[in-house]
Amino acid sequence: MMLTLVRSRVQAAVVVLSTVAALALGSTVTTHATAAPALAKAGPTAVAYVEVNNNSMLNVGKYTLANGGDTVFDVAVIFAANINYDTGTKTAKLYFNENVQRVLDNAATQIRPLQQKGIKVVLSVLGNHQGAGFANFPSQQTASAFAKQLSDTVTRYGLDGIDFDDEYAEYGNNGTGQPNASSFVHLVTALRANMPDKIISLYNIGPSASRLSYGGVDISSKFTYAWNPYYGSWQVPGIGLPKSKLSPAAVEIGRTSQSTVTTLARRTVSEGYGVFLTYNLNGADRSADISAFTRELYGSTAVYTP
C-alpha cells in the first residue's frame, strides 16, 4: 500500500520575513537557562513536533505521567525554519518566518520553560521551494558555511540541536544543482564538529536521507536520532543507528486513530526501539490521544495541565 504524507507544511509557503539573527543581528547572545535534571521516567524518548505558525511550543510541557509526574515529552521540535536561496550571492541562507522568529526572540518564555522541565528544544529546517537544499551544495566550503549558520543559531538562542527535513527544496529552481553525493555528508560532518554535544536528528525523507556516505565517510553515527516521516505507519529508518536512537513509529496527534497509536507504541516496546515520534501537538487537551501511547511506553496515562 502506498503511504501518503499527511504532514502539512504551512510555513513553507509563508513569505520569509527575517534572516537568521546570527548573521543579520548584532545583539547579545541569549543566555541558556540551566535545564532541570532529567526525571526518572523509563522508556522510549518521546518527540513532539509543533507547527508554530498555529500552536505554542509551551503545549509540549503541559503533559505529565499520572504515575510519577514525569514529563511525557523529552524532545520538542520547532517546526520550522527554512533553507532559502539567495539569488544575489547564489548561496543557501537560513531564514525564519515571523512565527519561528517570534518563538526564538521570546526564548525566555517559549523555550526556557521547556528546558527547565528537562525537555530538549530542537529547530527543524525545511526546504522552501527555492532550489536550495541539504543535498546540492556546490562545494564543501558552502556546506560548511551553512553548517555554521545552523550552529550559530543554536548558540544564539540556547537551543539543543537541529533537525533536518529534506522536503520542498525543489532542487533545480533558480538555477541550482540537482542532489549530489557529497553535500549532506559535508554539511552534517561540519555541523557535528561545530556542536559535538547537541542533537542532530533526521526526518528520514528526501534526497539527503539516501546520501549518507561519501568518500569513505558515513555520517550515520553523527546523528542523535532518526525517525519515520509517514504518520500512522511503521517504517524503520534506513540509517546505521542503534534501535535506541530510531523511531519506526510516527503518529499525528488527533489524526492517527488511538487504536493505531496504541499498536505502534506497543510495537515500539516489543521490538526494542528507543524513540517515539509525534507530530502536530496543538493547544487542546490531547491527553486521551497521548495516553494511547504513554500507557504502552511508560505504563501510565497522561495528565494535561493547562
For the annotated catalytic residues, the residue numbers are: 167
Residue bearing cell 502536530: 280
* DSSP of the chain: ---------GGGGSPP-EE-HHHH--SPPPPPPPPPPP----SPEEEEEEETTTS-GGGGGGEEETTT--BS-SEEEEEEEEEEEETTTTEEEEEE-HHHHHHHHTHHHHTHHHHTTT-EEEEEEEE-SSS--TT--SSHHHHHHHHHHHHHHHHHHT--EEEEE--S--TTGGGPPPP-SSHHHHHHHHHHHH-TTSEEEEE--SGGGG--EETTEE-GGG-SEEE--STTEE---SSS--GGGEE-EEEETTTS-HHHHHHHHHHHHHTT--EEEEE---SS--HHHHHHHHHHHHSS-EEE--
Other C-beta atoms closer than 10 Å to the C-beta of 214 total: 16
Q: How far apart (Å, rounded) are the C-alpha atoms in residues 271 and 248?
A: 10
Q: How far apart (Å, rounded) are the C-alpha atoms in residues 96 and 195?
A: 21
Q: How far apart (Å, rounded) are the C-alpha atoms in residues 299 and 212?
A: 36
Residue bearing cell 486513530: 257
Beta bridge partners of 96: 18
